[in-house]
Every structure is written in structure tokens, then in C-alpha cells.
Amino acid sequence: MTSLCWVFFVSAQIAPARTLEQLKTEIQDRANRGAYPVAELKANDVEKALKNLKSLSHDDWALAWMPIGDLYMDQAKSLEGKDKNAAAQAYQQAMQYYLFGRFPVEDSPMTVKSYDRAKESFKAYAKLIDPVIEPFSFDFKGQSVTGYLRKPKGVIKPPIVITVGGLDSRKENNAIREAEYLKHGVAFLSMDMPGTGENKIKIEPGAEGVFSAAIDALQKRSDIDATRVVVFGGSWGGHWSARVGYTEIKRLKGVVVQAGPVHEYFQPQWQRKALGNTEYIFGLFEARSAIYGVKTLDEFLAYGPKMSIKDAGWLGNPSAPMLLVNGSQDTQVPIEDLYLLLRSGSPKEAWVNPEGGHMGRSKTLKDHEIFKEIVVPWIVRRLKD
């Protein structure tokens, strides 16, 4: 069954998806105001790509965005011998378009190709910037997992943040904004969450062990202070940071759970409602079902509840210090999941935007503002306690 057929099949059971023209209008509007998920793209480039978007198929989607990435990639290559900084920024720009070309999931030949090009351009970018971003690989349950490590200059053994990507973000996206940590003398390890990108660990209870394995690997390094670690996860990544907050209470200085699924998210009644939300740009069912390895709506609804942290009996347990972040109007992850964590177990801190949607963002408060003003200061404080 093609991904396009999935859209029609699932939409018939929940809510109609945006039409092609509605999708184009929404994307351009978000690009014009610098909103997720096109905040890093240029509005005029977005306009050009949308003119070439022929259908809602994922291959056509990738084919609309890759040519823009190719232009920046060619520009970057021509600049490498002349202006290293300009070349790096062109590679990063290319990566952003390739990553959007694989959005929200690599489930067709062209979306896979777009993600491959995103990784290629990111690696070129990572080598040109100072300090460099280095690949960081380790094994978990016989599988190799790859992330990206970056350390601040002039700090002998910096503390570190392990960041966990969400459903449709990738470690390459996150590694760009995480340069903010370096200003505070903090290193970061950017990772894909299980079931996405280069983290092929199956999503199931116990998969949070991949982050314990990452801590184990960091402890073997002499250039990282692995006694001072915080884990930060956004959206689906917040589910994993929450889990690790319980399993690694002795080895973590804290965790940030930003819009993370806990229990209500996994219930069929919420999913039937949430799959039709308009906050998510398109392809939500394909992305959510792909990480479970299922294809039908019934399979998807049956799989989710096994991931409930509440049903696992963890909520009343002690945990590492937690910062909980979200918007009360989130249509993707119910705000009740934040309150479930807040009301249970160890004392926790919370920041809730009464007007915010997913991740706490709103038309007047953007993702990068929440990150810089709320998340980063809390993390730095925990690492320096």
C-alpha cells in the first residue's frame, strides 16, 4: 500500500487531511512568519518549491524540496576553497531543505534519498565549523547507534546534554540549535529517538536502555564529565527523556520533558482525535505508524497503550529532577500527560504556556525563544549544581 493510499484510507476513518492547495497555503504562511516546521527555510525558497509540488505523494514531496537543497549544496562546494564559514552555512542551508524533503518520515525512495543528502550535507558542515561536530557511535543490543557530539572550546571536561529527537525531527536538526549550550561551557550529544533516523532500536518498553548505553559510552571518554549529564527530549523525544528520568535517577542531574507522551497520548480515544489535528502540517499517521512498524489504524491504536508510563507503574517512583514544558492547547500530546508527571513521584518543575500549542509554541512565542529562555537556563543550572 503506498503512502498516498494510507492518507486516503486513514482520513476516511478520522478527519480529512489538507488538500494539496490547502497544504501549500499553510506551509507558505508558516514560512512567512518563521513558524515550525519551516522556521529555518527562506520564504522565497519555499515559494519556489511549492510551485513544483505536484501531489501529496511522498516522492513528489521530496522532489519539490531536493532541488533547492541541491542549489545550496553546489554553492557550498564552490565556496569551500574560498570562504570556509560561508561554505559551512551553505551546507547547513542545504541540509535544512533536504531534511524537509524527507519530512515527516523516510518511507519512499525519494524521501530516503533526501535524507541521505541531508546527512551528506550535514557531515560537510560539521567538519567546517569550529569546534567541529564529531560522529559518536556505540552499540546497543547488537545494533550500532550513531549520534553527534560537540564540545565547547577551552573546557577540559565539560558536562553534557543528551538530546533526543522527536517523531519527525532528526539529530541533524537538533545539532544546529544546540550550539547554544556551548556558550555555557556545556557539550551535547544529539541523538535520534528509537525507530527514527540512525537509531533503529525498536520502540517497545526497555528501548530507553539505548540512552543508558550512550551514558556508558560517554563514561569511557576522558574529555567529557559523564558525572554531570542531563537528558532533554522534545515531543516524542520527551517520552524517552521521561523514561530515562526514572531508570537513570542515580546518573542524571536532571531531565527535560517537553511535550512528551506519558499515558493519555497512547489511548485510542486521544489518537482518533489527534490524528485529525491541523497543528501538524501533514503525514501524521504515516509518521506515527512508521515508528511502531505498523500500517493499519487498528494496529496502530492497539500498539500504543503498551508504551504508557503510567500503566508501567512508574509515575509514583522517585525520578531525577524534571522540568516539564508544554502548551495547554496542545492538540498533538494532551496537556494532561504533563500534569500526570507533575502530580506524581518526586517534586518537579513545570512551565506551561496557557495559549501554547505543541511544545508550548504559539504565534507570539516561538520554539527558539522557549529553548533559550526556559530550557537552556534550567539545564545549565542543573549541570552546575
Spell out the SS3 assignment of the chain. CCHHHHHHHHHCCCCCCCCHHHHHHHHHHHHHCCCCCCCCCCHHHHHHHHHCCCCCCHHHHHHHHHHHHHHHHHHHHHHCCCCHHHHHHHHHHHHHHHHHHCCCCCCCHHHHHHHHHHHHHHHHHHHHCCCCCEEEEEEECCEEEEEEEECCCCCCCCCEEEEECCCCCCHHHHHHHCHHHHCCCCEEEEECCCCECCECCCCCCCCCHHHHHHHHHHHCCCCCCCCCEEEEEECHHHHHHHHHHHHCCCCCCEEEEECCCCCHHHCHHHHHHHCCCCCCCCCHHHHHHHHHCCCCHHHHHHHHHHHCCCCCCCCCCCCCCEEEEEECCCCCCCHHHHHHHHCCCCCCEEEEECCCCHHHCCCCCCHHHHHHHHHHHHHHHHHHC
Residue 208 belongs to some domain of the structure: yes
Residue 5 belongs to some domain of the structure: yes
Which carries the bigger pLDDT value, residue 7 or residue 284? 284
Are residues 165 and 106 located together in one domain of the fold?
no
Residue 277 belongs to some domain of the structure: no
CA distances from 273 to 89, 143, 279, 329, 331 (A): 40, 36, 12, 14, 9
**How far is it, in rounded angstroms, from Cα 362 to Cα 366?**
6
Residue 271 belongs to some domain of the structure: no
pLDDT digits (tens, 9 = 90+) for 324-371: 999 999 999 999 999 999 999 999 999 999 999 999 999 899 999 999
Contact 17, 282 (CB under 8 A): yes
Query: Is a pLDDT exceeding 60 seen at residue 6?
Result: no
Residue 285 belongs to some domain of the structure: no
Can you give the pLDDT at residue 141?
A: 92
pLDDT digits (tens, 9 = 90+) for 94-140: 999 999 999 999 999 999 999 999 999 999 999 999 999 999 999 99
* Domain containing residue 107: 1-130
Can you give the pLDDT at residue 17?
A: 81
Residue 293 belongs to some domain of the structure: no
pLDDT digits (tens, 9 = 90+) for 27-46: 999 999 999 999 999 999 99
Contact 322, 346 (CB under 8 A): yes
pLDDT digits (tens, 9 = 90+) for 295-329: 999 999 999 999 999 999 999 999 999 999 999 99
Mean pLDDT of 278-292: 94
pLDDT digits (tens, 9 = 90+) for 157-186: 999 999 999 999 999 999 999 999 999 999
Backbone angles phi, psi at 273, to 5 degrees: -75, -45
Query: Is a pLDDT exceeding 50 seen at residue 54?
Result: yes
CATH of the domain at 379: 3.40.50.1820
Domain count, the chain: 2
Are residues 185 and 36 located together in one domain of the fold?
no
Are residues 151 and 59 located together in one domain of the fold?
no
**How far is it, in rounded angstroms, from Cα 34 to Cα 40?**
7
Are residues 59 and 179 located together in one domain of the fold?
no
Are residues 104 and 143 located together in one domain of the fold?
no
Are residues 77 and 32 located together in one domain of the fold?
yes
Are residues 124 and 192 located together in one domain of the fold?
no
pLDDT digits (tens, 9 = 90+) for 225-242: 999 999 999 999 999 999
Q: Which of 130, 148, 176 is the last residue of a domain?
A: 130
CA distances from 73 to 68, 194, 253 (A): 9, 29, 40
Q: Which of 113, 130, 147 is the last residue of a domain?
A: 130
Residue 125 belongs to some domain of the structure: yes
pLDDT digits (tens, 9 = 90+) for 60-87: 999 999 999 999 999 999 999 999 999 9
Are residues 198 and 258 located together in one domain of the fold?
yes
Mean pLDDT of 235-252: 98
Contact 222, 199 (CB under 8 A): no
Can you give the pLDDT at residue 2?
A: 41
Are residues 216 and 88 located together in one domain of the fold?
no
Are residues 146 and 222 located together in one domain of the fold?
yes
Residue 274 belongs to some domain of the structure: no
Q: Which of 95, 111, 130 is the last residue of a domain?
A: 130
Can you give the pLDDT at residue 7?
A: 45
* Average model confidence (pLDDT) across the chain: 94
Are residues 85 and 230 located together in one domain of the fold?
no
Are residues 154 and 171 located together in one domain of the fold?
yes
